[in-house]
Structure 1
């Protein structure tokens, strides 16, 4: 249920479970984490995460969430593997992203979205804590008050407002995967060491 294509150094991982709103099982999360780890060791020049259908991901599969997936360390393994990549990483949101699926999106360098998408993380209502690394990443992007709007007030933020906040970097009318590939053009033209050095300067100062 995770499709991977590799073309000219660009790895595109697509969540392909549209009949279940691309909700994530333990196996799917593990596969995504493995892909991100492989991208780091096999010379990927860019990693793009996207989904099929009208939803990027509804978060954890409900049956597995109640069986313990909501607190499984695989979420942190995935977001950590993405954040550690030396190459450009792009979340290409084909639709709404919810719950734990926010982790992989927040770990990316860039987030682009279709206009109709929404962002929400209903941990307060559901009684779960957000993944540990998600909160500082969210706060770094939008500040503590707006993070509280999402995590504590449970607000669903539409794509234009999320862009105004700095949570989404660009709202596009075109196919998001195509746009994501275009954003990788300069990274592909540079040497891997050069791209990695610039990324370190951005994220570590």
Structure 2
């Protein structure tokens, strides 16, 4: 349910459970962690999904069994944030719940028209993962972060772009090609220069 392809320095990781809205089980989440922890050798990493939803977050049965508060979410977003190469979330559709952390930890987020963004942890009785609010606030500001996390608001694609939650809106047929195009200059540059520029941006 997690696909990995490696080509010319680019690792593409694809959530492939479209019949369940790419909801993440514990096994899927653990596999994502392990892949991202090995991805330091990649020059660029693209994270995307199959179907029309990027991810609905935790699988409901798994969430009830404790996955909603698992430290695997934080392990995953931390592993993504630590990668020295360029990381791109190519969001093929709606992004919800704990899966938000994966995208927030990436360097760049692109999304298809019609995608929605929401993180309804408060009404479900959980805190968000520890690093997610700070990463979100760094992108869109504290008030808008509270609007999503405390106000329970769903943000549509155009508003997400205006906020800075995503960086570009891309038609579905162009999503994969656009993500690859964003990697071209990084792949062509000396590795230490690309890594150095990313470090300087933080």
**TM-score for the superposition, normalised by structure 1:** 0.97
Match of 1:159 in 2: 157
Q: CA deviation at 1:34?
A: 0.9
Q: Which runs of 5+ in 1 are unaligned?
A: none
Indicate the larger mover: 27-36 or 170-179.
Answer: 170-179
CA distance in 1, matches of 2:29, 2:9: 22
Q: How many residues align?
A: 201
Match of 1:8 in 2: 8
Match of 2:36 in 1: 36
Match of 1:72 in 2: 70
Matches within 5 A, 1:5-154: 5-40=5-40, 43-154=41-152
CA RMSD, aligned part only?
Answer: 0.7
CA distance in 1, matches of 2:154, 2:177: 26
CA distance in 2, matches of 1:97, 1:160: 14
What CA deviation, in whole Å up to 9, does each residue of 1:106-149 have, x standing for no partner? Answer: 00000000011000000111111000000100000000110011
Q: CA deviation at 1:177?
A: 1.7
Q: CA deviation at 1:5?
A: 0.5
CA distance in 1, matches of 2:28, 2:190: 32
**TM-score for the superposition, normalised by structure 2:** 0.98
Runs of 4+ deviating beyond 4 Å? none
Q: Secondary structure at the match of 1:175?
A: helix
